[in-house]
Structure formats: C-alpha cells, structure tokens
Amino acid sequence: MILTVTLNTALDLTYRVPALTPHATHRVTQVIERPGGKGLNVARVLAALGHETVATGFAGGATGAMLRDLLATTPVRDELVATAGPTRRTVAVVDTTTGDTTQLNEPGPAITPAEWAGFRTRFTELLDGARAVALCGSLPPGIHVGAYAELIRLARAAAVPVLLDTSGEPLRRGIAARPDLVKPNADELAQLTGSREPHRATRDARRRGAHAVISSLGPEGLLAATPEGLWRAAPPAPVKGNPTGAGDSAVAGLLSGLVDEAPWPERLTRAVALSAATVLSPVAGEYDPSAYEELLPRVKVTEDSVSA
C-alpha cells in the first residue's frame, strides 16, 4: 500500500458564483464539500488509479467528523489520529465566468505534544507494509518545524521510500534528512535555494540531500533532477482551467510510477498528464480520467543535456 500523511487536513468547501465582485453580496450556485489537505488529495487520486492507499494525519472536532464521513465514501483507508482541536476549513470561491479561483485557508488546530507522540506511534506502525510514503502540506500550530525530517528518518529506517511536498523551513529541514523525492514549485524552490533559474535551483536542491528533485514549472510541466539525469516533461499544449490540486495529482503520478518501478520518463509522463487532467476537470481538485488517458501518449519528455 501507499501511505499519505496530511498533518494539516481540511474540510474543503468550494463555492461557485457567476461572478466574484469585491464588496458585493453573491448568490452561490453550487457548494462542493470534500476531504482536503495535500496528502488527502494525493490519496484520492492514487485510489482512483487503483492503488491501495492509506491516509493518516490529524482530524478533530465537528469539521474533522465531516471530513472523515466524506473520506469513508472513497476507497482510501482512514487512519487519521483524533485531535481535541477542530480541523480547519478551506474555502475556494470559483468565478464561473472567468474560471478564476479565490482561496481562503484557515490555519489549523494546535497539536499537543501528546497528540504528536500518538501520531508518531501510529505512523511507525503504518510503515510496516507500506511501499512508499508521501509527506504533504503545511504543519499545523504546535508541531515543530523539523517534524517532516523526523518522519523521513523513521521512513528511511524502515526502508520505505519517501516523497516530501512542503515549503519553507519544514522543506529546508526535511530535505537535509535525505528523502527519496521532493516536489517543490518554482516559488518554493527559489525560497529554498535563492535562485529562480530552474536548472540551477533544481540541481542545488538535490545537492542539499534529496535523492531526486522534481520541480513544478506550472503550465510548462516538470523539471526533474534524478540520479539518471535531468529530464523535462511538458503537456502537448497549455491547458486552461482550475489549477487547484494539480500539484497533488502530479505527486500521485510520481508515487504511482515509483511503486510500479517505472523508468523516470514514464513517472514524469504520469505526473504531467494527471496534473493537466486536474486543471481540465470541472470539479476543483479532481482529475478528468478521459483527459488523463488522452494526454498520456502526448506528454513530451526530453532528457536535458545539462548534467544533473
């Protein structure tokens, strides 16, 4: 099975309005609720691809109960750890005329030392039988910035490949613990390395400890610095739509390729096709299966001449 970790889960609410106008009252035409947080998004895509998937992290309060009820309707196995504080909410307001999305994210509950200790115990138990683990998203209040580095070391001790997808100081600390994969976007990579030149920043990030670095270039696809070389993967043409969850779908594609022991070009092809199919989906954060199948053979993957 594949294990995903979401320490700062969320109840995702999407409001669709005909037009979003500042200082105005809006009539919402559609409300969508779903379990959210980067790792849960990844888990949902992996399950849709046919992988046995287990989700852990934290959930609490009335919103946490709603999240778990929604998660129970999916193939993802719920191994979330209960908290006293309520799970946060995120609100996405979609302007259906322009397709633009405005996002509001709550900070999350404060995690107590006892809750963190309980999670570490459960995480260690779940590593037994895991083929890969993904550590995704922000840290809620109360958890130290080296938390992901701590979990990476536990996964490495259990010989389980680990992917890290976070930002800021948790990324800086985590990458030094030598994860197998990290997947920053351009802004996160620039913050980590001080460089906005994609090749230099990606190679620099890999030198900091990660086995492989897959940098998201937005509509231009992915740049991957791996032990086998430097690769670029891009959709056949720019896609327009809602990018919510596209990065999480790319993570799912990378993990799918990892556990299937696919070569790097195939892993990157899955990641780019899933990401683009998520942008094209009418539901924010979900991928369009037909678009994914249509895009798979058309993703362009090239090996870069610059040494990784």
Catalytic residues: 248
Helix or strand or coil: residue 168? helix
Phi then psi for 276, rounded to 5 degrees?
-65, -40
Q: Could you give the count of Cα atoms lying within 13 Å of 166 in the half-sphere of its Cβ?
A: 29
| 171's tokens | 């990324």
Provide the 8-state DSSP code for 112.
Answer: P
Provide the 8-state DSSP code for 89.
Answer: E
Cβ proximity of 53 and 79 under 8 Å: no
d(C-alpha 58, C-alpha 120), whole Å: 11
Helices (H) and strands (E) in the chain, counts: 10, 14
d(C-alpha 157, C-alpha 127), whole Å: 10
Compute CA 93 distance to the chain's CA centroid, rounded to the nearest angstrom.
20
d(C-alpha 204, C-alpha 266), whole Å: 24
Cβ proximity of 157 and 163 under 8 Å: no
